[in-house]
Amino acid sequence: MYGVISYRLLRCLTVPNARSFSDMTSCKHSLCLYIADYIVQCIHRLDLHGNSTQWPVNDEPDGLSVNACHSLIVTCSIVHKIKEFSARGDLLRDVTLPDDVINLWHSIQLTNGQFIVCHGDDDDPIHRVCKVSEDGGHIIINSHGGRPGSNTGQYSHLAVDDNEFVFVADINNRRVTLLSPTLDYKRQVVSCDQFKWKPYTLCLDVQQRRLYVGESEYKLGELTRGHIRGRVVVFSV
């Protein structure tokens, strides 16, 4: 935990029985931190005092977010679903996404119930950010992306502001892009020359207008070598 003004280390929290971290998010309403563990296939929940509980997802959890009802939204790439849990770990529902929305990374539920989802792995022909209906449905309402390249990246993580503008991390092109509420391209928020490595995760502080970006030098196949470096970079937006 770091101070938002000083960026100084305040303390470390231990997560008992954790095997892996694929994503994390916090909830101001429940005053807790959620961590996705894809090896144990569970969610770890830590309160302000560091007390830990966990509950099973029964699938590998990937990206995490919290919706307007303070429920936890868990993106499960392998099973092609979004799962919604209560703050105490009760499964409220799962949503199966359209067939062409594959290899999910992260999802966020808007106040109207619709989902913003980013998807597409290295070898996939399409990398996109999509807006889908509350039930997942079979119709994509809006989308941004296409074939991988300099104009279309590999989108790994999302953040949405109060006006539903979407910030999206583009791993391969090493940038953060801003999209309109209808997912039209607006501008680059962070360019490649502002990163040392590749941006993987985002966290937006709407009140302070600060964008926290987790970047890493990770490359496929190098995770076990023990020398992967990373950092958090903070930008005013």
- Domain assignment of residue 194, yes or no: yes
- pTM for the full model? 0.92
Task: Please give the pLDDT value at position 227.
Answer: 62
Position 81 in a domain: yes
Residue 11 lies in a domain: no
In a domain, 13, yes or no: no
pLDDT at 149: 67
Domain extent for 141? 23-236
pLDDT digits (tens, 9 = 90+) for 34-93: 999 999 999 999 998 889 999 999 999 999 999 999 999 999 999 999 999 999 999 999
In a domain, 4, yes or no: no
Q: For residue 40, tell me if it sits in a domain.
A: yes
Domain contains 94:
yes
Number of domains in the chain: 1
Report the pLDDT value the prediction gives residue 221, as an integer from 0 to 100: 56
User: For residues 130 and 101, is the Cβ–Cβ distance under 8 A?
Assistant: yes
pLDDT tens, position by position, 157-197: 999 999 999 999 999 899 999 999 999 999 999 999 999 99
CATH number of the domain that residue 35 is part of: 2.130.10.10
